[in-house]
Structure 1
Amino acid sequence: MNARFRDTSEQDRPLASPSRRKPLLVVGGAAVLVALALLGGGWLKQGLSAGTAVSAARLSIATVDVGPLTRDVAGEGRVVAAQSPTLYAPGAGTVTLDVRAGDPVRRGQVLAHVDSPELTNRLAQERSNIDALRADLARAEVDARQQTAALQSAYENARIDQQTAQNDLARQTQAFEAGATARMQVERAQDALAKAKLALEQARDLRGLKTDSLALDVQAKKSALARQQLLVADLERQVAELQVRSPVDGQVGQLFIADRTNVGRDAKLLSVVDLSALEVQMQVAESFARELQPGMPGEISGNGQRWAGSVSSVSPEVVNGEVAARLRFAGAQPEQLRQNQRLSVRVLLDRRDKVLGVARGSFVDEGGGSHAYVVRDGVAEKVAVKLGARSLDRVEVLSGLQAGDRVVISGADGFKGAARVLIAD
């Protein structure tokens, strides 16, 4: 009987008493949520409305304020001579150098001479032609005087013949009136007077025309002689220039040929460096070169010293995106400067005392500088801005920002263009 019916001891299980901790945890959690909602409701709302969150440690933030704005261009320059002429061969021939590289020279000193037999022989020939032309001119002047004298004599004879014919006519007229001669004699005297007058007019006209012709011949000889004299003077200048002289005081720079070298006309011979007038040349980016103007103030520094300077010239040519500009020293030229010596250069483009601006950062170049992120209550908001003049460390604000605004100047690339970004501490 006991084997067929078992008891319920195996089915009975003791029930655990209910825990009182769970209701306490639920109540505590609800209280925390209520506290967060009451105390940080605004923060939660901003966090939920922001597109993303970025750590403040990754950002650089600057405050917009009113202060001075100085725009300048700085870089490295090298000392160059304001005058560094290169001398060329004035003619073809053999060049003999009278100096060596580095020798000090004075203005007008002979540095080299060119032996040009062709040019010297031509000068001798043209001088001989001058003597021949002088003889031709003298001969033409003598011939003109002779012919002028002959023409004058013919004219005087014609004038005397006319006077004689006129006197003869007067005598014949008186004799005819007295009945001492025939009328035929009077008419014959009248014809002789007419012929004498005609001869006198012809002699006078011939004298004038021939005199003008002789004067033109003499003038032509004089012009030919003057032209030959100009040619000889030019050849003498060319022969004199075969003595290559220094145009400035300074030092011989570079020799482009060896001594006793046969060169052609206009071949490079040597260069002269005028060390009394040195300038500093710097390369300026094309974007800044548009604003560079001669006369702008600058500063030159090197060897532990600083010197005031000013822009003397700006090259009109752009090479590899850069423009060459030169600065001259404002005062006395410093001593101990050498050609191609490296110096630091700074050119002041603009300076204003009261400008609304902010420190320059990557936000100036991002998006073309059309927007910036302003930090307010832990959230960076994207606002449209308009920027003006820019210096190396500061940028002018024209619109979109006010003094006191805190702007993310770098690190905003992680915002990915979001309109609002939560800044986490």
Structure 2
Amino acid sequence: MAIRDTSAQDIPVGHGSDRGRPLRKWIWPGVAVLMVLAGIGLVARGWLSSARSFDAARVRIAEVKQGDLVRDISADGRVIAANSPTLYAISSGTVTLKVVAGDVVKQGQELAVIDSPELRSKLAQEQATLAGLEAEADRASLNATLARASARKVTDQARIDQSAAQRDLDRYQRGYDGGVIPQVDLARAQDSVKKSDITLQHALQDAGLQSQGADLDARNKRQLAERQRAVVSEVQRQVDALTLRAPFDGQVGQVQATQYTNVAANAPILGVVDLSKFELEIKVPESFARDLVIGTPAQLTSGSGQPFPGEISAVSPEVVSGEVAARIRFTDRQPPGLRQSQRMSARVLLDTRKNVLKVERGPFLEQSGGRYAYVMEGDTAVRRPVELGVSSLGEVEVKSGLKPGERVVVSGADQFGDEPRVRIN
């Protein structure tokens, strides 16, 4: 009986290099699959961490930098005449024009004449009243002279009577001392002296009162005449103003009146332009209006590129279409051959901030009141609170919330809404 062994269960085994060959052929495919899964995971993580995604071409990104922030305003302006008054009719009447628009005139030259019979008649009446009051003033002065003369006559007569009574008293006194004159005659002479003294005293007092009264009447008459003279001077000034004259050397501007027509009182007749003094009118954004003060230095540049110093001379309080009008005058000299409505560029220097954080200015300033900004972290924009300072036309100061080198979405963030994180493709 034969005994069976295990030879039927044995399997031939090859060398060691042959055993690892099936495992190695799956290593690289597995690595590739892991890399694809990792990429898909990163993309999925980015998509999950960002609520929305936007195209990078629709936004503008700027880098936060550190340096000097120059606050200035650059604008193109229009040259206007600094002095261009309009002459008005002081009274109604018929106007006669002596010049036409564009004429060069000299100071004091007649430009127009208004014929006002009413005003001229009023002048004649006031002059006649003045003549009557002056005559009354002269008469009052003459009456004062006569009153003083009459008082002087009475006073002189009283002095003579007082002297005569004193001589009689002296004579009676000598006669009484010699025993020739009785005492009653001496007493009568003494009474006469006292009476003459009282008469002289009253005469002097009456003379002073009469002189004061006459002077007062004369002064009142003179004051009435002076008042009327002032009225005549005013009416005469109005009559003289019927002839419109050039206030300075210049050129006739717009003529509002028509030749030989009747104009109303205070109606505009024509304008005169001073060609020797010009200013530049510019429009600045409303946000810069509060920084403009009269006297702020500016630099004006003509078409040739030559700079001319200037300063702010006026700032309009009215805001029109988000802009404020301001005027700049030349402080040293103005370009030769300057004309009205000529275009010039102006640069107004407000101030300079040294070594500050700054970023490019953009519409993000108006979003959320400038309290938030979208900061780039890789390809994701994260909404972050920031504190901004002063701004210029091209840059804005960063006080806190940002660091140098960080990138900020300065334009196009309005499409993000208030999302905390968005993806920029």
Q: Counterpart of 1:141 in 2: which secondary structure?
A: helix
**In structure 1, what residue type is equivalent to 2:361?**
R
The TM-score, its normalising length taken from structure 2, stands at: 0.82
CA distance in 1, matches of 2:70, 2:120: 64
Partners in 1 of 2:381 and 2:135 — Cα distance? 103
1:340 match? 341
The reply on whether 1:317 has 2:318 as its aligned counterpart is yes
1:364 equivalent to 2:365? Answer yes
Alignment of 1:270-285 (within 5 A): 270-285=270-285
83-92 or 43-52, larger mean C-alpha shift? 43-52
Question: 1:78, 1:341 within 8 Å by CA — same for their partners in 2?
Answer: yes
2:417 is aligned with 1:401:
no
Shift of 1:105: 0.6
Deviation at 1:410, TM superposition (A): 3.2
Partner of residue 374, structure 1? 375
Query: Matches of residues 57-72 of structure 1 in structure 2 within 5 Å?
Result: 57-58=56-57, 59-72=59-72
Q: Which piece of structure 1 moves more, 259-268 or 55-64?
A: 55-64
Deviation at 1:194, TM superposition (A): 2.3
Distance 1:125-1:354 versus aligned 2 partners, 3 A rule: same
User: Could you list the per-position Cα deviations for residues 104-152 of structure 1 after superposition, in whole angstroms to 9, with x for gaps in the alignment?
Assistant: 1111111111222233333334334444444434433333333322221
* Residues 301-310 or 385-394, more deviating: 301-310
| Number of the residue aligned with 1:104 | 104
Residue aligned with 2:226, SS? helix
What corresponds to 2:16 in structure 1?
none
SS at match of 1:238: helix
Deviations 1:132-175, CA, capped at 9 Å, x for gaps: 44443443333333332222121122122222223323333343
How far 1:53 moved relative to its partner? 5.9
Aligned to 2:14: none
Partner in structure 2 of residue 5 of structure 1:
none
C-alpha distance in structure 1 between counterparts of 2:361 and 2:44, whole Å: 32
Equivalent residue for 2:356?
A: 355
Matches within 5 A, 1:130-145: 130-145=130-145
Q: Which runs of 5+ in 1 are unaligned?
A: 1-22
Q: 2:50: which partner in 1?
A: 51
Name which of structure 1's ranges 214-223 and 70-79 shifts more when overlaid on structure 2. 70-79
Structure 2 gap segments, 5+ residues each: 1-22
Cα deviations by residue, 1:202-236 (Å, 9 ceiling, x for unpaired): 11111111111122222223223333333333333
**What secondary structure is seen at the aligned counterpart in 1 of 2:318?**
coil
Flag as ranges the 4+ runs of structure 1 deviating above 6 A: 23-29, 39-42
1:276-300 per-position Cα deviation (integer Å, ceiling 9, x unaligned) = 2111212333322111112323344
Match status 1:179 vs 2:179? yes
SS of 2:317's equivalent in the other structure is coil
Task: Go from structure 1 to structure 2 and tell me whether the alpha carbon gap of 1:41 and 1:320 turns closer, same or farther (over 3 Å shift).
Answer: closer
- Pair 148,365 (structure 1): closer, same or farther in 2 beyond 3 Å: closer
Relative to 1, partners in 2 of residues 1:332 and 1:180: Cα closer, same or farther, differing over 3 Å? closer
Aligned AA (2:313)? S
The verdict on how the C-alpha distance between 1:82 and 1:163 changes in structure 2, with shifts beyond 3 A counting, is same
Aligned: 1:91 with 2:97: no
Matches within 5 A, 1:285-296: 285-296=285-296
Q: Is the 8 A contact 1:54 1:414 kept in 2?
A: no
TM-aligned CA deviation for residue 79 of structure 1: 2.1
Task: Write the letter of the residue equivalent to 2:387.
Answer: K
SS at match of 1:148: helix
Compute the RMSD of aligned alpha carbons.
3.2
Kept in 2, the 8 Å contact 1:299–1:306? The answer is no
In structure 2, relative to structure 1, the CA distance for the partners of 1:143 and 1:357 (3 Å cut) is closer
Stretch deviating more after TM superposition (174-183 or 412-421): 412-421
- Structure 1 stretch displaced more, 366-375 or 94-103: 366-375
What is the 5 A alignment of 1:229-268?
A: 229-268=229-268
Aligned to 2:10: none
For the residues of structure 1 that align with 2:130 and 2:82, how far apart are their CA atoms? 44
CA distance in 1, matches of 2:25, 2:418: 43
Contact 2:286–2:324, Cα closer than 8 Å, also in 1: yes
**What TM-score, normalized by structure 1, do the two folds share?**
0.82
The alpha carbon displacement at 1:359 in A equals 1.7
Say whether the 8 Å CA contact 1:91–1:242 is kept in structure 2.
yes
Q: Which stretch shows the higher mean deviation, 126-135 or 197-206? A: 126-135
Aligned to 1:227: 227
Query: Pairwise mapping of residues 123-134 of structure 1 onto structure 2 (< 5 A)?
Result: 123-134=123-134
Farther off after superposition, 270-279 or 412-421 = 412-421
Q: Which residue of 2 aligns with 1:15?
A: none
Distance 1:161 1:403, change over 3 A: same
Residue of structure 1 in register with 2:3 after alignment:
none
Q: How far is 1:415 from its partner?
A: 4.6
Deviation at 1:83, TM superposition (A): 0.5
- Hey, what does 2:389 align to over in structure 1? 388
State percent identity of aligned pairs: 43
Q: Deviations over 1:314-371 (max 9, x none)?
A: 1233445432211123553234443334444443333335221112233322222222
User: For the residues of structure 1 that align with 2:368 and 2:148, how far apart are their CA atoms?
Assistant: 97
Q: How far does residue 271 in structure 1 lie from its aligned partner after superposition?
A: 0.5
Using a 3 Å threshold, how does the CA distance of structure 1 residues 97 and 379 change in structure 2: closer, same or farther? closer
Structure 1 position 384, deviation (Å): 1.8
**In structure 2, what is the Cα distance between the partners aligned to 1:56 and 1:131?**
94
